[in-house]
Amino acid sequence: MDTTNNNTLSPPAQVFFKQALLYWLKLGLISFGGPAGQIAIMHHDLVEKKRWISEKRFLHALNYCMLLPGPEAQQLATYIGWLMHRTWGGIFAGVLFVLPAFFILTGLAWVYMAYGTVPAVAGVFYGIKPAVVAIVLFAAYRIGVRTLNNKMLWSIAALAFIAIFLLKLPFPLIVLVAGVIGHIGGRLAPQVFVTGTHAAADQYYGKALIDDDTPPPEHALFSWKKLWRIALTGLGIWLAAMLVLIGTYGWSATYSQMGWFFTKAALMTFGGAYAVLPYVFQAAVEHYQWLSATQMIDGLALGETTPGPLIMVVTFVGFVGGWITHSLGVDAVLASAFVAASIVTFFTFLPSFVFIFMGAPFIETTHGNVKFTAPLSAITAAIVGVIVNLALFFAYHVFWQQTSGEIDWFAAGLAALAALALFRFRLNVITVILASGGLGMLFKLIVTTG
C-alpha cells in the first residue's frame, strides 16, 4: 500500500511576490548562527516545509554561491529570489536578508559610541572581547576540520600563517598565490584539492514548485548578451556611486576611500567573513585609522550577536569611522556615521548581486556540477592560517594591558572558559557572548564599587 502523503505528490501553489517578500524579511530577522545556521534555516523552510525549490536545485545553487566571494547565505537567498521572481525578486531577497541586521547594528554602534564609557556598558564589552578571541579560534578550527584533509592543504595553511604573521604580506597577495597553487595543483593532482562543496541531494521531501525536472524559466536562460548587459550595468552603478562620492567629497575623503576599499574587500571574501577580516583590520585599523583595534574587536562581537551575515561587521567599521572623522561636520556626527555605514554596506554587497545575476543563468541552464573548485580549496586552506593569525592578534590586544604592561588574567580566564564552552560543550556563539558580557559587567562593577 502506498503511504505517501498525497500533499507531496503535487507541487505547492504558486508563490506570489508579496508572499516571498514577507518570507525574505522574516529570514532577515531570524538569520542567526552564521552561514551554516542561515543555510540550514533556508533549507528547512524552502526545501522541506514550503517546497518552493527541490533539494537538488537548492544544493546546486549553493555550490555556485560557495565559489563566489561574498556571503554565500545572502547570495543563495538572492539566487532563489531571482529564480522565482526575476531580477526584482533577487534584489529584494538579498536586500531584506541584510536590512534588519543593518539597522540593528547601526543602533548598537550608536549605543557603543555614545554610551560606551558608562561602567555597565564598558563592562559588557570588556567581557565579550575574550569571547571573541575564542570564537575566532573556533572559526579556524571549523574551517580547518572541513578543509585540511591532507598534507598539501596543511602546508598551504602553515605558509599563509607565516606569510601574514612573520612576513606581513598583504592579504590579497596571499589569496592570489593560494589560488594559483590551487589552479596548478588541481590540474596535476585534482584529488588533493577535493574539499567542502555540498554533496548531491539524497533526500526527497515531495514535489517542489521548482523541482529537479522543472525547466528554467525564460529569464533564467543564459546568453552572452545578457551576461555583458548585467556586467556593464553593475559596473555602471558602481562607477556612478564612486563618481558621486569623489565629485562631492574628493578622492582622499573618508567616504570615497571607504567606497574604494570596501569594493576591494568584497572581492576578497572567499571563505566567509573571517577570511577577509584580517584584510579589513590591516586597512581600517592600521592604514586608514578609522577605528582602533579594541573597537574592531567590539564590532566583531556585535556582529556575532545580530542576525544576517557576519560580514555585516563592516557596517560597524563604517559607522565608527564616520563618527570619528565626522565627514559631514562636527555638529552632524550621527549623520556622518550613518552615511558612512550605508556607503560601506552598499559597496560590500553590490558585487554579490552582480555575480549572482551574471552567473546564475549559466548555472541554471547547464544544471551540471560546478567545476574548477581547486583554487577555492587552496584559498580556503590559506584562510585557516590567516584566521589563526587574526586570533593571535586579537589575543595580544585583549590579554596584554598596554598601559601597565601586564597580562589581564581575568580576560585570559574568560577566554579559556569561552573556548571550553565552544570546543567541548558546543554551546551557541550568542550564548557564549552574552554570558561573557554578563561576567565582564559584573567584574567591572565590583572593581568600580569595591
Q: 3-state class of 119 per DSSP?
A: helix
C-beta of residue 128 within 8 angstroms of C-beta of residue 121: no
Block residue for cell numbers 556571503: 71
Q: What pLDDT is recorded for position 393?
A: 81
Four-residue CA torsion sign, 319, 321, 327, 332: positive
Amino acid (one-letter) located at 304: E
Give the three-state DSSP class for 210: strand
Task: Convert the pLDDT of each residue in 165-220 to its tens digit.
Answer: 999 888 778 888 998 998 898 888 888 886 654 544 456 778 889 988 888 888 98
The pLDDT of residue 5 is 47
Beta strands in 293-373 (DSSP E): none
Span between the terminal Cα atoms of the chain, in Å = 75
What letter does residue 9 receive in the DSSP assignment?
S
Q: CA 295 to CA 331: how far, in whole Å?
A: 23
- CA distance linking residue 200 with residue 92, whole number of Å: 28
- pTM of the prediction? 0.81
Closest to 229 measured CA to CA, from 355, 351, 358: 358
- Rounded Cα–Cα distance for residues 276 and 270 (Å): 8
C-alpha cell belonging to residue 116? 560606551
Question: Please, which residues have CB within 8 angstroms of residue 220's CB and are 6 or more apart in sequence?
Answer: 82, 83, 360, 361, 364, 365
Task: Give residue for cell 574628493.
Answer: 250
In whole angstroms, what is the distance from residue 320 CA to residue 285 CA?
Answer: 11
* Domain locations along the chain: 100-190+221-449
CB 391 within 8 A of CB 133: yes
From the list 15, 139, 28, the residue with the least C-alpha distance to 73 is 28
- Residues of the chain short of pLDDT 50, as ranges, are 1-6, 197, 199-201, 368-370
Q: Are residues 150 and 358 in contact, defined by beta-carbon separation less than 8 angstroms? A: no
Quote the pLDDT of residue 342: 98
- Residue 50 three-state SS: coil
**CB 368 within 8 Å of CB 56:** no
DSSP 217-234: PGGG---HHHHHHHHHHH
The whole-number pLDDT of residue 321 equals 96
Q: Which own/partner contact pairs does 215-218 have at CB distance under 8 Å and 24+ positions apart?
A: 216/361, 216/364, 216/365, 217/83
Q: Is 53 helix (H, G, I), strand (E, B) or coil?
A: strand
From 326, 317, 377, 371, select the one nearest 344 (Cα to Cα). Answer: 317
Q: What is the distance, to the nearest Å, from the Cα of residue 74 to the centroid of all Cα atoms in its chain?
A: 8
pLDDT on residue 2: 39
For CA atoms 405, 409, 411, 413, the dihedral sign is positive
